[in-house]
Amino acid sequence: MFSIGDFARLGRVSIRMLRHYDALGLLRPAHVDERSGYRSYQAAQLPRLNRIVALKDLGFTLHQVQTILDEDLAVSQLQGMLRLRRAELEAGVAADLERLARVEARLSLIESEGLMPINEVLVKQVPRVRVAELRAVASGYEPEAIGPVIGPLFGQLCQRLDAEGLTPAGPQIAYYEPVPNGVMVHASSPVTADPPVVSNGSDDDLALVDLPAIEAATIVYRGSMDKADAVVQELARWIEANGYRGTGHAREVYLACPPDHDLWVTEFQEPVVKDA
Protein backbone atom coordinates (compact mmCIF):
# COMPACT_ATOMS: atom_id res chain seq x y z
CA MET A 1 0.00 0.00 0.00
CA PHE A 2 1.28 3.42 -0.95
CA SER A 3 0.30 6.86 0.26
CA ILE A 4 -1.03 9.18 -2.40
CA GLY A 5 2.32 10.96 -2.53
CA ASP A 6 4.31 7.77 -3.06
CA PHE A 7 1.85 6.47 -5.64
CA ALA A 8 1.98 9.76 -7.51
CA ARG A 9 5.78 9.54 -7.60
CA LEU A 10 5.63 5.97 -8.90
CA GLY A 11 3.22 6.90 -11.64
CA ARG A 12 4.90 10.24 -12.46
CA VAL A 13 1.63 12.09 -12.06
CA SER A 14 0.63 14.86 -9.67
CA ILE A 15 -1.22 14.26 -6.43
CA ARG A 16 -3.90 16.56 -7.75
CA MET A 17 -4.39 14.30 -10.75
CA LEU A 18 -4.91 11.26 -8.52
CA ARG A 19 -7.50 13.19 -6.52
CA HIS A 20 -9.13 14.29 -9.77
CA TYR A 21 -9.31 10.70 -11.09
CA ASP A 22 -10.76 9.66 -7.75
CA ALA A 23 -13.44 12.34 -8.00
CA LEU A 24 -14.30 11.20 -11.54
CA GLY A 25 -14.43 7.58 -10.45
CA LEU A 26 -11.69 6.83 -12.96
CA LEU A 27 -9.21 5.50 -10.40
CA ARG A 28 -10.47 4.93 -6.88
CA PRO A 29 -7.90 4.41 -4.11
CA ALA A 30 -7.70 0.83 -2.85
CA HIS A 31 -8.56 2.16 0.57
CA VAL A 32 -9.68 5.41 2.19
CA ASP A 33 -9.25 5.97 5.91
CA GLU A 34 -12.63 6.77 7.37
CA ARG A 35 -11.42 9.19 10.00
CA SER A 36 -8.74 11.12 8.18
CA GLY A 37 -9.83 10.70 4.55
CA TYR A 38 -6.28 9.59 3.69
CA ARG A 39 -6.12 7.64 0.41
CA SER A 40 -4.06 4.45 -0.01
CA TYR A 41 -3.14 2.82 -3.31
CA GLN A 42 -1.87 -0.65 -4.14
CA ALA A 43 0.98 -1.43 -6.51
CA ALA A 44 -1.48 -3.51 -8.51
CA GLN A 45 -3.35 -0.29 -9.35
CA LEU A 46 -0.39 1.05 -11.27
CA PRO A 47 -1.32 -0.71 -14.53
CA ARG A 48 -4.65 1.07 -14.54
CA LEU A 49 -3.00 4.41 -13.87
CA ASN A 50 -0.60 3.70 -16.70
CA ARG A 51 -3.46 2.90 -19.03
CA ILE A 52 -5.15 6.16 -18.11
CA VAL A 53 -1.98 8.10 -18.80
CA ALA A 54 -1.31 6.26 -22.05
CA LEU A 55 -4.82 6.86 -23.41
CA LYS A 56 -4.67 10.47 -22.34
CA ASP A 57 -1.37 10.79 -24.19
CA LEU A 58 -3.14 9.63 -27.32
CA GLY A 59 -5.39 12.64 -26.92
CA PHE A 60 -8.52 11.00 -25.57
CA THR A 61 -10.57 12.96 -23.06
CA LEU A 62 -10.89 11.51 -19.56
CA HIS A 63 -14.48 10.76 -20.37
CA GLN A 64 -13.43 8.68 -23.36
CA VAL A 65 -10.73 7.01 -21.27
CA GLN A 66 -13.40 5.99 -18.79
CA THR A 67 -15.53 4.54 -21.55
CA ILE A 68 -12.59 2.60 -22.96
CA LEU A 69 -11.50 1.22 -19.61
CA ASP A 70 -14.81 0.51 -17.92
CA GLU A 71 -17.37 -0.32 -20.55
CA ASP A 72 -15.80 -3.52 -21.74
CA LEU A 73 -15.89 -2.46 -25.37
CA ALA A 74 -15.97 -4.88 -28.24
CA VAL A 75 -12.80 -4.83 -30.31
CA SER A 76 -14.69 -3.24 -33.18
CA GLN A 77 -15.87 -0.40 -30.94
CA LEU A 78 -12.34 0.23 -29.77
CA GLN A 79 -11.22 0.24 -33.37
CA GLY A 80 -13.94 2.76 -34.10
CA MET A 81 -12.77 5.10 -31.36
CA LEU A 82 -9.18 4.81 -32.49
CA ARG A 83 -10.11 5.52 -36.10
CA LEU A 84 -12.14 8.53 -35.01
CA ARG A 85 -9.20 9.78 -33.00
CA ARG A 86 -6.94 9.20 -36.00
CA ALA A 87 -9.24 11.28 -38.18
CA GLU A 88 -9.32 14.05 -35.57
CA LEU A 89 -5.55 14.04 -35.31
CA GLU A 90 -5.18 14.18 -39.07
CA ALA A 91 -7.59 17.09 -39.25
CA GLY A 92 -5.74 18.85 -36.44
CA VAL A 93 -2.41 18.41 -38.17
CA ALA A 94 -3.84 19.69 -41.44
CA ALA A 95 -5.33 22.74 -39.73
CA ASP A 96 -2.07 23.48 -37.94
CA LEU A 97 -0.12 23.15 -41.16
CA GLU A 98 -2.48 25.65 -42.80
CA ARG A 99 -1.99 28.07 -39.93
CA LEU A 100 1.72 27.51 -40.20
CA ALA A 101 1.65 28.36 -43.90
CA ARG A 102 -0.20 31.58 -43.14
CA VAL A 103 2.25 32.50 -40.41
CA GLU A 104 5.10 31.84 -42.83
CA ALA A 105 3.42 33.99 -45.48
CA ARG A 106 3.18 36.84 -43.00
CA LEU A 107 6.77 36.49 -41.91
CA SER A 108 8.07 36.60 -45.44
CA LEU A 109 5.74 39.50 -46.21
CA ILE A 110 7.16 41.38 -43.26
CA GLU A 111 10.68 40.64 -44.40
CA SER A 112 10.05 41.80 -47.94
CA GLU A 113 8.02 44.91 -47.08
CA GLY A 114 9.23 45.68 -43.59
CA LEU A 115 5.77 46.19 -42.15
CA MET A 116 2.50 44.65 -41.13
CA PRO A 117 -0.15 44.87 -43.82
CA ILE A 118 -2.76 47.43 -42.88
CA ASN A 119 -5.65 45.64 -44.49
CA GLU A 120 -6.47 42.09 -43.55
CA VAL A 121 -7.37 39.53 -46.13
CA LEU A 122 -9.77 36.97 -44.78
CA VAL A 123 -11.26 33.88 -46.38
CA LYS A 124 -14.96 33.65 -45.56
CA GLN A 125 -17.93 31.54 -46.49
CA VAL A 126 -20.41 33.90 -48.18
CA PRO A 127 -23.92 32.44 -48.11
CA ARG A 128 -26.30 32.49 -51.05
CA VAL A 129 -28.09 35.83 -51.25
CA ARG A 130 -31.24 36.77 -53.14
CA VAL A 131 -30.96 40.15 -54.88
CA ALA A 132 -32.95 42.41 -57.16
CA GLU A 133 -30.70 43.88 -59.82
CA LEU A 134 -30.37 46.15 -62.83
CA ARG A 135 -27.76 45.70 -65.56
CA ALA A 136 -25.90 47.90 -68.02
CA VAL A 137 -22.84 47.62 -70.24
CA ALA A 138 -19.67 49.63 -69.64
CA SER A 139 -16.73 49.88 -72.03
CA GLY A 140 -14.08 48.47 -69.65
CA TYR A 141 -13.03 47.68 -66.09
CA GLU A 142 -11.36 51.04 -65.38
CA PRO A 143 -13.00 53.26 -62.76
CA GLU A 144 -13.55 55.91 -65.46
CA ALA A 145 -15.61 53.46 -67.48
CA ILE A 146 -17.47 51.85 -64.59
CA GLY A 147 -18.24 54.95 -62.52
CA PRO A 148 -20.59 56.77 -64.88
CA VAL A 149 -22.54 53.57 -65.52
CA ILE A 150 -22.91 52.18 -62.02
CA GLY A 151 -23.80 55.42 -60.23
CA PRO A 152 -27.03 56.09 -62.12
CA LEU A 153 -27.81 52.36 -62.16
CA PHE A 154 -27.96 52.23 -58.35
CA GLY A 155 -30.08 55.38 -58.41
CA GLN A 156 -32.61 53.70 -60.70
CA LEU A 157 -32.46 50.53 -58.62
CA CYS A 158 -33.59 52.37 -55.50
CA GLN A 159 -36.54 53.88 -57.35
CA ARG A 160 -37.57 50.55 -58.86
CA LEU A 161 -37.37 48.77 -55.50
CA ASP A 162 -39.52 51.49 -54.04
CA ALA A 163 -42.01 51.20 -56.85
CA GLU A 164 -42.21 47.44 -56.40
CA GLY A 165 -42.66 47.80 -52.63
CA LEU A 166 -39.43 45.96 -51.88
CA THR A 167 -37.21 46.94 -48.97
CA PRO A 168 -33.45 46.39 -49.16
CA ALA A 169 -32.29 43.60 -46.84
CA GLY A 170 -28.62 44.47 -46.69
CA PRO A 171 -25.84 46.49 -48.29
CA GLN A 172 -25.83 46.92 -52.07
CA ILE A 173 -23.64 44.64 -54.15
CA ALA A 174 -22.01 45.22 -57.54
CA TYR A 175 -20.48 42.55 -59.74
CA TYR A 176 -19.20 42.30 -63.29
CA GLU A 177 -19.17 39.99 -66.24
CA PRO A 178 -17.24 40.22 -69.50
CA VAL A 179 -19.38 40.62 -72.65
CA PRO A 180 -18.27 41.07 -76.29
CA ASN A 181 -18.48 44.86 -76.31
CA GLY A 182 -17.13 45.45 -72.78
CA VAL A 183 -18.34 44.71 -69.29
CA MET A 184 -21.81 43.90 -68.00
CA VAL A 185 -22.28 45.86 -64.77
CA HIS A 186 -24.72 44.39 -62.24
CA ALA A 187 -26.12 46.76 -59.58
CA SER A 188 -27.99 44.75 -56.97
CA SER A 189 -29.62 44.95 -53.58
CA PRO A 190 -30.52 42.04 -51.29
CA VAL A 191 -34.26 41.53 -50.91
CA THR A 192 -36.38 39.01 -49.07
CA ALA A 193 -38.94 38.64 -51.86
CA ASP A 194 -40.17 35.25 -53.02
CA PRO A 195 -39.24 34.44 -56.61
CA PRO A 196 -42.26 35.43 -58.69
CA VAL A 197 -42.71 38.97 -57.38
CA VAL A 198 -40.79 40.97 -59.93
CA SER A 199 -41.39 41.45 -63.64
CA ASN A 200 -38.47 40.20 -65.68
CA GLY A 201 -38.70 41.33 -69.27
CA SER A 202 -35.95 42.94 -71.30
CA ASP A 203 -32.32 43.21 -70.34
CA ASP A 204 -32.68 46.57 -68.64
CA ASP A 205 -35.57 45.52 -66.45
CA LEU A 206 -35.44 44.65 -62.76
CA ALA A 207 -34.48 41.00 -62.25
CA LEU A 208 -34.54 38.72 -59.25
CA VAL A 209 -31.32 36.72 -59.00
CA ASP A 210 -29.78 34.32 -56.48
CA LEU A 211 -26.11 35.03 -56.06
CA PRO A 212 -24.61 31.64 -55.20
CA ALA A 213 -22.83 30.87 -51.97
CA ILE A 214 -19.08 31.20 -52.45
CA GLU A 215 -15.86 30.84 -50.59
CA ALA A 216 -14.24 34.22 -51.01
CA ALA A 217 -11.05 36.00 -50.10
CA THR A 218 -12.20 39.35 -48.78
CA ILE A 219 -10.68 42.69 -47.96
CA VAL A 220 -12.30 45.82 -46.62
CA TYR A 221 -11.34 49.13 -48.19
CA ARG A 222 -12.02 52.66 -46.98
CA GLY A 223 -12.04 55.39 -49.56
CA SER A 224 -13.24 56.37 -52.99
CA MET A 225 -13.64 53.59 -55.54
CA ASP A 226 -11.47 55.64 -57.89
CA LYS A 227 -8.45 54.67 -55.80
CA ALA A 228 -9.33 51.09 -54.98
CA ASP A 229 -6.91 49.55 -57.50
CA ALA A 230 -4.07 49.10 -55.02
CA VAL A 231 -6.29 47.19 -52.61
CA VAL A 232 -7.65 44.92 -55.31
CA GLN A 233 -4.11 44.14 -56.36
CA GLU A 234 -3.13 43.44 -52.76
CA LEU A 235 -5.99 40.98 -52.59
CA ALA A 236 -4.80 39.29 -55.78
CA ARG A 237 -1.27 38.98 -54.45
CA TRP A 238 -2.51 37.53 -51.16
CA ILE A 239 -4.58 34.93 -53.02
CA GLU A 240 -1.54 33.84 -54.98
CA ALA A 241 0.81 33.88 -51.98
CA ASN A 242 -1.51 31.79 -49.80
CA GLY A 243 -2.19 28.92 -52.14
CA TYR A 244 -5.60 29.93 -53.47
CA ARG A 245 -6.83 30.56 -57.00
CA GLY A 246 -9.37 33.20 -58.02
CA THR A 247 -12.40 31.89 -59.89
CA GLY A 248 -14.17 35.02 -61.05
CA HIS A 249 -14.42 38.74 -60.76
CA ALA A 250 -14.83 40.13 -57.26
CA ARG A 251 -18.13 41.26 -55.84
CA GLU A 252 -18.13 44.73 -54.32
CA VAL A 253 -20.25 45.14 -51.19
CA TYR A 254 -20.99 48.77 -50.33
CA LEU A 255 -21.00 48.83 -46.53
CA ALA A 256 -21.11 52.59 -46.12
CA CYS A 257 -21.72 55.21 -48.83
CA PRO A 258 -21.84 58.63 -47.20
CA PRO A 259 -21.80 61.75 -49.45
CA ASP A 260 -18.03 62.14 -49.04
CA HIS A 261 -16.63 59.36 -51.26
CA ASP A 262 -13.40 59.23 -49.27
CA LEU A 263 -15.39 57.78 -46.36
CA TRP A 264 -16.93 54.95 -48.33
CA VAL A 265 -16.37 51.47 -46.94
CA THR A 266 -16.35 48.65 -49.45
CA GLU A 267 -15.69 44.96 -49.13
CA PHE A 268 -14.18 43.16 -52.11
CA GLN A 269 -15.10 39.49 -52.26
CA GLU A 270 -13.04 37.44 -54.66
CA PRO A 271 -14.30 33.88 -55.10
CA VAL A 272 -11.46 31.42 -54.56
CA VAL A 273 -10.69 27.73 -54.38
CA LYS A 274 -7.78 26.10 -52.62
CA ASP A 275 -4.97 25.23 -54.98
CA ALA A 276 -4.36 21.54 -55.37
Q: Given the rule CB under 7 A, which residues bind DNA?
A: 3-6, 14-17, 19-20, 33, 35-39, 56, 61-63
Using the minimum distance from each CB to DNA, give the nearer residue, 57 or 72. 57
Where b means 16+ CB within 10 Å and e means fewer, 51-82 reads ebeebeeeebeeebbbbbeeeeeeeeeeeebe
Q: Which is nearer to DNA, 16 or 227 (CB)?
A: 16
What's the sign of the alpha-carbon dihedral 221, 224, 225, 228? negative
The CA R_g of the chain, rounded to the nearest whole Å, is: 31
Q: How far is the CB of 271 from DNA (least distance, A)?
A: 25
Q: How far is the CB of 18 from DNA (least distance, A)?
A: 8
| Residue 16 contact among DNA, a copy of itself, none, beta carbon within 5 to 8 Å by kind | DNA
57: partner contacted, choices DNA, a copy of itself, none (Cβ within 5-8 A by kind): a copy of itself
The separation between the first and the last C-alpha atoms of the chain, rounded to the nearest angstrom, is: 60
- The set of residues, in sequence order, having a beta carbon less than 8 Å from that of 174 and lying 6+ positions away, is 150, 185, 186, 187, 188, 251, 252, 254
* Cα dihedral sign, 255-258-263-264: positive
- Residue 8 CB, shortest distance to DNA, in Å, is 7
CB of 60 to DNA, least distance (A): 7
The residue (of 53 and 184) whose beta carbon lies closer to a copy of itself is 53
Q: Name the minimum Å distance from CB 50 to a copy of itself.
A: 4
Decide whether 103 or 179 has the Cβ nearer to a copy of itself.
103
> Percentage helix, strand, coil, to 5, in the chain?
45, 25, 30
Could you say which of DNA, a copy of itself, none residue 63 binds, taking C-beta under 5 to 8 angstroms by partner kind? DNA
Q: Is 142 helix (H, G, I), strand (E, B) or coil?
A: coil
Cα(247)–Cα(255) distance, rounded to whole angstroms?
23
Q: How far is the CB of 66 from DNA (least distance, A)?
A: 9
Give which of DNA, a copy of itself, none residue 62 binds (C-beta under 5 to 8 Å, depending on kind).
DNA
Residues 6+ apart with CB under 8 A from 27: 18, 21, 45, 48, 49, 52
Binding positions for a copy of itself, rule: CB under 8 A: 6, 9-10, 12, 42-44, 46-47, 50-51, 53-54, 57-59, 75, 78-79, 82-83, 85-86, 89-90, 92-93, 96-97, 99-100, 102-104, 106-107, 110, 114-116, 119-122, 124-125, 170-171, 218, 220, 222, 255-256, 263, 265, 267
